[in-house]
A and B are shown apart, each in its own frame.
Chain A
Amino acid sequence: MITIAIGKGRMQESALALLAQAGIDVSDDAVNSRRLALIDETGQYRFIFVKPADVPVYVEHGIADCGIVGRDVLLESEADLLLPLDLGISRCRIVLAAADADAMTKVQGMIRVATKYSQIARAHFGSRGIPVEIIQLSGSVELAPALGLADMIVDLVETGVTLRENGLTVVEEIAVSTGRLVVNRASYQLKTEEVGRLIKTLEAVV
């Protein structure tokens, strides 16, 4: 049996749907029971549901053999994992947004960027040699520019509605994020057959 860690919330629903499509079923009752660990109906897979940011942690430590997690989380975590398959689920964009689309040229002095994704923001500006002040927030990042905490934000955008409602527009797309299958390096070598089977099964429905 192999253990698969799945990020709770948005990713969980689309991941379970994709798995069901691939013939790996978890009964609705089990999902609704709010238990944090489940076994699929064939008994081949155990699922654990954890906070998205913890998926790379469980997989890197080998507590989970595999994980399903967004690229946004992976870019932020810098965990050392194998990334065999892009599942194409939960597609969204990581963008740089501001009140003014020309903000990059208009801000006076040091640019202040509020974000939950400080690694991604730092790497983005760092690769262009633009010095910025990163302000780490843990939620409601869209508020920061309106309240004067920051000039811009780096955030995940699905539809863009939240941005518009807060008077922000996309300055630049930094990356596209989709759900990925990630695999622990040791599990990949030690459970070759099981992991290989999972990759093949999912490949067929992506």
Chain B
Amino acid sequence: MKPDTVAASVTESVSDPAMGREAGAVAAASAHWHLGRRDFLKTFATGLVVVAWGNPLWAQRESGSSHSREGHPDVPRQIDSWLHLGADGTITFFTGKAELGQNIRTSLTQIVLEELPAPNHSVRMVMADTDLTPWDGGTFGSRTTPQMGKQLRNVAATAREVLLDLAAEAWQVDRSTLEATNGEIRHAATHRKSSYYDLTKGRLLQRDVMDSPPVKQPSVWTIAGTSMPKVNGRAFVTGRHQYASDFVLPGMLHGKVLRPPAYEATLVSFNAADVEKQNGVSVIHEDDFVGVVAPTVHDAEKALALLHAEWKTRAQISEGALFSHLRETSDYRSEEKEHRTDGSSLRRTYHVAYIAHVPLEPRAAVAQWNEGRLTVWTGTQRPFGVRAELAKAFAIPESQVRVIVPDTGSAYGGKHTGEAALEAARLARAAGKPVKLVWTREEEFTWAYFRPAAVIDVSASITPDGSLDVWDFHNLNSGNAGIRAPYRAARSNAEFHPSESPLRQGSYRALAATANHFARESHIDDLARLAKMDPLSFRLKNLNDPRAVAVLKAAADEFRWQEQKASPEVGYGLAVGTEKGSFVATCAEIALQRSTREFRVVRVVQAFECGAIVNPAHLMNQNEGAILQGLGGALFETVHFENGRILNPRLSSYRVPRFADVPEIKIVLLNRPDLSSVGAGETPIVTIAPAIGNAIFSATGVRIASMPLGQRVPPASG
């Protein structure tokens, strides 16, 4: 049947001139999507372009992936344009980073405005478009601020230096008497001024990015360092922002993919007879891949339900055998460490469950083939990586693939890959029409990847004066992020041992730093008790980094740690950590019901330091969000699985933090204008779980050595 569509497509509606500036910006961005790189470069007919030759030094290599330019001779070594100054006064910056909610569109805007002063609205960030932006390894690892921030700062400063040169030459004045301000170069003594663009006199000027142009020190920042609101916030609160899942192309079909009943299942047979009778519906079958396309999502869903498939499944490791399996398949040979202590030493094994990212926007893509060239709009953290995946899958040069990432409905490390992009492109190629594919929540829970589960063995001992003596730490399966202890120890060892993971696993905000901090800070807390010392004093005595000490003291002061006395109804815990160059400490208070042994987190104080702060409000926002997201993994999030099937692939069976879970939260930001800014999207998540576990320990003496901790304290074991 043919659907009766009554509305104009969304692409038309955002172009509505009545919609104001933000909508205009969205429409302008959409317009770019219809340009190829070559066309776009042609539009640089005049103005100033700041460029860099290919192979950027800051190119990030992710282990296991091969998507650098060097590995792909088909990707031309091209001039990367980082900035274009246009005749209308617009200053366009180009970056391969993606906006996923971490608010880098805003922070990068602040950074460039600091060096190239101009009205805020004149800056436009073109982001994460493989045809328009310089190659980039991906948006992960808290690298945007320290690396891309530095790069764009140099680009903006280069432009300013060039413009100052042009003005000095044109006006025959001493360059040092010129000032760049509000989109103009001014000469105060002669009252001369010129807009940035006018200084180019309508020529096209191309300049290389300077390696180390003069840049402002954070202590004199006036735009960076302030709480600029989200630059395109209005598009979000009005519902006008178009995520990949909202994108519409003329003539577009909707796709659905037939999923196996379990992982590792192979297709034995399938019957599409019932589907082929449906008007406008096509079934696409290539090897084990079966999908449908239809004029509406509803028709595609109905068609999918009418496919009859037979799958061959095989036995797989279930949740109950997970931790022994991780131990058996690692190169680390040791017994499970039951809690054992002789008064000065302590050994224990910690366990961490698989959890899911649950990005509220599930994987989504719109794919379009045009004369052998593929364009895909999708939400991913690695547009260039997804371009490589697509080129490989379809055996075409990367230059024939364009990946565009609209600002995306979150990722948290969970969108490094291009599953939906591949599937949509496959369906679109077979259908000969553009195809949109949006994963269901169940698909997102099942067919994406998880934060790795962990087994962590820790053995440690202390000297009679309460100093760490031996520290021996082994992480099985989850990774080595944050594995190095910020404590002095006479003999210290920390190792990561890969295992065979029964479930597909991958990056998650802060990677293994959360698991490693949970085990380490739980263990340190127990050692403090062995040393008969207060948990704060024990840490301060053994910490080896003044920045870690500073955040710990700041959190403890704000929490009034010294005044808190634990009781069977109230517990207090703290934890400190460092990862990716930033420092965090968290204090947590829990309230315990003695009869039921249920507890609630009622108060959290977190201190955080990441060098010079670029946007205090957004840094607060990241800290608050990380604490609460971390609360889910700390207390209740866990992926249940059996024999290749996920048992709780829905929000009704997989609990995430909600309003009712929110405790009182206080954030203390330590600004260090004397230090370079580093990223802050990840590290603020690593200390909430151990702080809660330690609060439980302070109230009950019970050490819960697994994440999630649960919401009820188990009875003390003998």
Q: Real complex partners, A and B?
A: no
By a beta-carbon cutoff of 8 Å, the part of chain A in contact with chain B is none
